Structure 1
Amino acid sequence: MNLLIVEDNRDIAANIADYLEPKGHRLDFAYDGVQGLELARSAEFDAIVLDLTLPRLDGIELCKQLRAEQCCTPVIMLTARDQLDDKLLGFGVGADDYLVKPFSVKELEARLLALLKRLQSAGQASAMRVADLCFDQQTLEISRAGTQIELNPIQRKLLQYLMQQSPGVVTRAQLEQRVWGDHPPDKDILRTHIYSLRNAIDKPFARRLLHTVHGVGYRLAEKGEE
């Protein structure tokens, strides 16, 4: 598994690493909520282990923002709180499971594996398709007319959101929020990524799928305004 651990207690983070890394799992760490949110937005993870009480941005708000941005990465919350209201609050903002401190790292791994298996069997990571363009959200494989397409993480996020909204129009502001949150870059950065995405998914093929809606944004569809 490729995991993001958002935990400000470095001893707990180290214990998780000591157990999971020798078993072949890949871990990235964040020690506050803002750093965790930035990592979750910039890379692809199989799951996020998220402490509830974090400096700068707490786990509830972090999870809420990810779900608002349509990030469907599974989240297990860690907390010292064992009250039902706290658990309901966590589930209410989109957490998938809850583990109360102190906990066994072996149990954490078992819950992560069970969670991923459950979500996959429920079809939450199924493939999306627009015309002959296919995006498998489980394997992150992208293909068009049987040809594999390689994209970087930002391009994948843009494509995923455009496919989710297809054939609707997505504004530039929506795309910037989806990828960069409340800290959008210069507008030329989005334009550059869209240009590269269009070259990857459209240029080698006869039909265009990624269309510019002038003054508004973009849409991914078989026909669109240019």
Structure 2
Amino acid sequence: MPKVLTIEDDAVTAREIVAELRSRGNEVDWVDNGRVGLERAVGGGYDAITLDRMLPELDGLALVTALRHAGVQTPVLMISALSDVDERVRGLRAGGDDYLTKPFAPDEMAARIEVLLRRRQPAARETVLRVADLELDLIERSARRGDLALELLPIEFRLLEFLVRNSGQVLTRTMIFEAVWGYHFDPGTNVIDVHIGRLRKKVDPPGLVPLIRTVRGSGYRLAETE
């Protein structure tokens, strides 16, 4: 069972985080103080951490910086009411692995934690990724679906690689946008839906079992079965 540490001084937010993560089968500990959170993070053997940006005694940036200096590489999802791009960059540069702004949907937070937990699983460096009969060669930057070579634009390859690396996982539009395009998601844009639509035509042509699936109200998932 994955073990997650939640460092959050707002009790209402903390309860939402803890309840959502526990409902998905995680063991979750909660502390409401930055200094105590650092002590627990260093010695607790956690698989992932949710970290509030603004905390008493030791703020989130200082905490994650200290964590990395101590050699602790536990994946950290930073959560903050500060939504500007510069703040997000500071959080990631300090050592955070992902950044989520408040207010947030609990399932969005949990989806991000699940992605971080998957990254933590040890694996040999892969040069070829496969899901069903879909194959991506990361060196040649080429893709095939069975015997069919897929002609992908660079952005389409990056998008498909992100889906394949996280196959089976529901990926929200925000997660996809930030991972593939690299900057803050504008909920008013349909750029992801447009690119997913184009990618579907290439990856899931008529006659083949569809791999790219829409999860209504949440995002997308690449999987062999429903």
Give the structure 2 partner of residue 48 of structure 1: 49
Q: Distance in 2 between matches of 1:84 and 1:122?
A: 32
Q: Distance in 2 between matches of 1:21 and 1:8?
A: 19
- Confirm or deny: 8 A CA contact 2:47 2:120 kept in the other structure: no
Report the CA distance between 1:123 and its aligned residue: 5.3
SS at match of 1:8: coil
Q: Counterpart of 2:62 in structure 1: which amino acid?
A: E
Report the CA distance between 1:20 and its aligned residue: 2.1
Q: Distance in 1 between matches of 2:54 and 2:19?
A: 22
Q: Distance in 2 between matches of 1:68 and 1:54?
A: 19
After superposition, residues 5-84 of structure 1 pair within 5 angstroms as 5-84=6-85
Report the CA distance between 1:24 and its aligned residue: 2.0
SS at match of 2:6: strand
- Deviation per CA, 1:157-202, whole angstroms, max 9, x where unpaired? xxxxxxxxxxxxxxxxxxxxxxxxxxxxxxxxxxxxxxxxxxxxxx
SS at match of 1:89: helix
Give the structure 1 partner of residue 109 of structure 2: 108
Q: Distance in 1 between matches of 2:100 and 2:120?
A: 18
- Deviation per CA, 1:126-181, whole angstroms, max 9, x where unpaired? xxxxxxxxxxxxxxxxxxxxxxxxxxxxxxxxxxxxxxxxxxxxxxxxxxxxxxxx
Q: Distance in 1 between matches of 2:47 and 2:67?
A: 14
Give the structure 1 partner of residue 4 of structure 2: 3
- Confirm or deny: 8 A CA contact 2:33 2:58 kept in the other structure: yes
Given the superposition, is the C-alpha separation of residues 18 and 56 from structure 1 closer, same or farther in structure 2, using an over 3 Å criterion?
same
Q: Counterpart of 1:93 in structure 2: which amino acid?
A: A
SS at match of 2:29: strand
Give the structure 2 partner of residue 87 of structure 1: 88
- Deviation per CA, 1:77-104, whole angstroms, max 9, x where unpaired? 0001111110111111110000000011
- Confirm or deny: 8 A CA contact 2:34 2:60 kept in the other structure: yes
TM-score if structure 2 supplies the norm length? 0.52
Given the superposition, is the C-alpha separation of residues 123 and 6 from structure 1 closer, same or farther in structure 2, using an over 3 Å criterion?
farther
Q: Distance in 1 between matches of 2:64 and 2:38?
A: 9
Q: Distance in 1 between matches of 2:56 and 2:124?
A: 35
RMSD: 1.6
- Deviation per CA, 1:202-222, whole angstroms, max 9, x where unpaired? xxxxxxxxxxxxxxxxxxxxx
In structure 1, the gaps of 5 or more residues are 125-226
Q: Distance in 2 between matches of 1:50 and 1:3?
A: 11
Q: Counterpart of 1:12 in structure 2: which amino acid?
A: T
Q: Counterpart of 2:85 in structure 1: which amino acid?
A: L
Q: Counterpart of 2:41 in structure 1: which amino acid?
A: A
Q: Distance in 2 between matches of 1:117 and 1:40?
A: 19
- Confirm or deny: 8 A CA contact 2:6 2:18 kept in the other structure: no
Task: Report sequence identity in percent.
Answer: 40
Report the CA distance between 1:116 and its aligned residue: 2.3
Report the CA distance between 1:121 and its aligned residue: 6.2
Report the CA distance between 1:25 and its aligned residue: 1.0
Given the superposition, is the C-alpha separation of residues 29 and 87 from structure 1 closer, same or farther in structure 2, using an over 3 Å criterion?
same
Give the structure 1 partner of residue 97 of structure 2: 96
Instruction: Provide the aligned length of Structure 1 versus Structure 2.
Output: 124
